[in-house]
Each structure stands twice: as C-alpha cells, then as structure tokens.
Amino acid sequence: MLTFMTSFHGLVLKKFKMFTILKIHSFSSSVCNHRIQSMAASSDVKLLGSRPSSFVNRVQFALNLKSVDYEFIPENLQAKSELLLKSNPIHKKIPVLIHNDKPISESLVIVQYIDEAFPDGSSILPSDPFDRSTARFWAAYIDDKWYPAWRSLADAKEEESKTAALEKITEGLVLLEDVFVKCSNGKGFFGGDILGYLDIVLGCYLGWLKATEISSNLKIMDEAKTPALVGWAERFKNHEAVKRTLPEPRELLHLLRKNSSEPESAQYRSVPVGMESEDLDDSLIVCQRRPSGKRRLLRPSDTDIYSQSVQ
Ligand SMILES: N[C@@H](CCC(=O)N[C@@H](CS)C(=O)NCC(=O)O)C(=O)O
C-alpha cells in the first residue's frame, strides 16, 4: 500500500516497494508571515514547522479557525535549528508553537492550548465535558492505533502483510465512520455544524492518505465502506480554515518521488478507476485498469485525457 509511508510525522514515508526513510524537509525556503486578522494582535505567535507535516497542519488549522496571526518558521529536519532543539528538547520534533516566548510541543496539546489561549470565536473542543472526553478518546485512538496501522502498510513487503495492514486500516475507518455518525448528529463535521477537534485530528492526514492511494494503487477511504467519512473528507478539504493549508496530493507525491531510491524511469503508475486527474503528479505517466483488463493511459497534465490500451 502505501507504497510508501509517510514521513509526515516522525515519519518516514517509504516509497513504492522499498522505501527509504524520508525526513521531511522544509517546503518553503523563506519565513512566511500569515496575515490573518488577529483576535490577539498583541500576542506573539510563532510556529516551527514544515508544510507537508500533518502534525504541523493540525496546528495551522486551529490557528486559522481562531483567526490568530502567526509567523511560520520552516524547519529543516535534516539539520534541526537551535531554536527547535531548545524549544522541544525532549522529542526534538515539529510542530512547536511559541507563544510569547513560551514553547508548547505535541500537536494535540498545542491544538488544545490554542483553544484555551484564544477563547474568542467558536471553541475547537466540545464544551460539554462528556463530549470533550469522547473527542479526546478518539483523538488518542486515531494517533495511537489507527495511524500506526497505516504506517505498517508502508513497511509491508509481502502481499499477505499488505492485505492484513489494509484490513486493520479499514476496520479503523469503519469504526471512525460510526463515531462520525454519532458525534456529528446529522451535521457536516465531527464537531456538528462547526469544524472542531476530531475533524482537525483526522483531517490532517487526508493529503497523505490520497497520495498513498495514488502511489500504492489502493482505495483506502472507500465510499462503499465509509460513505459518511468520504462526504466529510470533501467538506473538510474545502473548509476555509483548511483549503489553503492542507498539502495537495501532487505536492506530496513529488516529495515522495524526490526522496525515492527508485530510478527516474520508474515513473509509471497504475491508479484506481475514478481517481481524479488533478490528484496526480504532472510528471507521472499513469494508467487506469479497465474492467476489460485493458489499461487506459492518463497524462494528468493534459486537459484532453486520452485513452489507449497498453499491453
Ligand atoms: N506526536 C507528535 C509527532 C510529531 C512528529 O512526528 N513530527 C515529525 C514531523 S511530521 C518530526 O518532527 N520528525 C523529526 C524527527 O523524528 O526527528 C505530534 O503530534 O506533534
């Protein structure tokens, strides 16, 4: 599956069949100032991160939701800055939020901190204590159980272990589908009408999930098995607080390829029928398997997609 494993998080995305460990390196070379109207204009907020990191994206979604103005400081994980080592000496990982010179680490902790430190606007965690504890329980499930299952897919070499890993991932998604149905109460998000904590916790993985599906030619989030989650994912990706922050699958595929040990000539991929051409990396030659057994060649950079049978 994951033909690769995502290195977005501690990471390690492995590419195609044999993946090499990939350290996420900073996506942008310069420090970006996010000029979002601030509710806490007097406070000084910095985020140490890297654009492709799902954990960093979580924090960005929360800051966007709260309209907090912040400075994004790109971190190169292959040469960690003094500021990162000093700010997060225990884990030495991103994200780190520095608020008025005080560092806060661990994305789930940071998101909860943002919710409390910037109380204006709607809250990210549910206000009811039971609902809040439920959201925290499932957030821990997503990071401690579901995400490792996804990572194990990347490590799987044999078909049998890939199938077992995919089953675990699907089992987890089916469980989360049920959680979504109960928490959302017929509304669009885990948080109801408003995008909230569990939306951020699961939604941060969507870019890499799609990149994984493309790269590994597997359907992980399947409408037939988790229809409510598939609908939720579309709403999440198009939300104002998310759409300019969640990395596009094509950016992530590009990263994977750059860090792959595979030779350039291997830019040939078979993708599931139904995959959107916009989700595909421009430089890949891609084909889709047809029910007839023939494959359809797709060049995602062409607006005029053409078909041709190969082999
Ligand atoms: N549990 C942490 C995970 C953070 C994490 O794994 N960050 C990765 C980048 S996505 C990292 O900094 N890796 C550097 C390293 O492992 O040395 C969180 O939620 O913040």
Answer whether residue 57 shows pLDDT above 60.
yes
93 and 236 inside one domain: yes
Residue 302's domain spans which residues? 267-311
Atom of ligand 1 minimally distant from the CA of 77? 14
Q: How many domains does the chain have?
A: 2
Geometric angle at alpha carbon 289, from 284 and 292, rounded to 5°: 150
64 to 35, 146, 194: CA distances (angstroms) = 10, 26, 13
CB 83 within 8 A of CB 89: no
Ligand 1 contact via 10 beta carbon (within 6 Å): yes
Mean pLDDT for the stretch of residues 70-89: 97
183 and 201 inside one domain: yes
Q: How confident is the model at residue 28 (pLDDT cuts 50, 70, 90)?
A: very low
133 and 198 inside one domain: yes
Q: Compute the chain's Rg from CA coordinates.
A: 20
Q: How confident is the model at residue 176 (pLDDT cuts 50, 70, 90)?
A: very high
Residue nearest to atom 2 of ligand 1 (CA): 106
148 and 169 inside one domain: yes
Give the pLDDT confidence score for residue 212 in this predicted structure: 86
272 and 173 inside one domain: no
Write down which residue in 241, 264, 287 finishes a domain. Answer: 264
Ligand 1 contact via 55 beta carbon (within 6 Å): yes
128 and 14 inside one domain: yes
Q: pTM here? A: 0.76
| Six token digits for residue 72 | 């994004």
- Give, for ligand 1, the residue of 5, 11, 104, 145 to mutate: max count of ligand atoms closer than 8 Å to Cβ: 11
Distance in Å, CA 107 to ligand 1 centroid: 9
43 and 136 inside one domain: yes
Distance in Å, CA 54 to ligand 1 centroid: 9
163 and 79 inside one domain: yes
55 and 176 inside one domain: yes
52 and 142 inside one domain: yes
Distance in Å, CA 229 to ligand 1 centroid: 26
Give the pLDDT confidence score for residue 310 in this predicted structure: 29
Atom of ligand 1 minimally distant from the CA of 92? 17
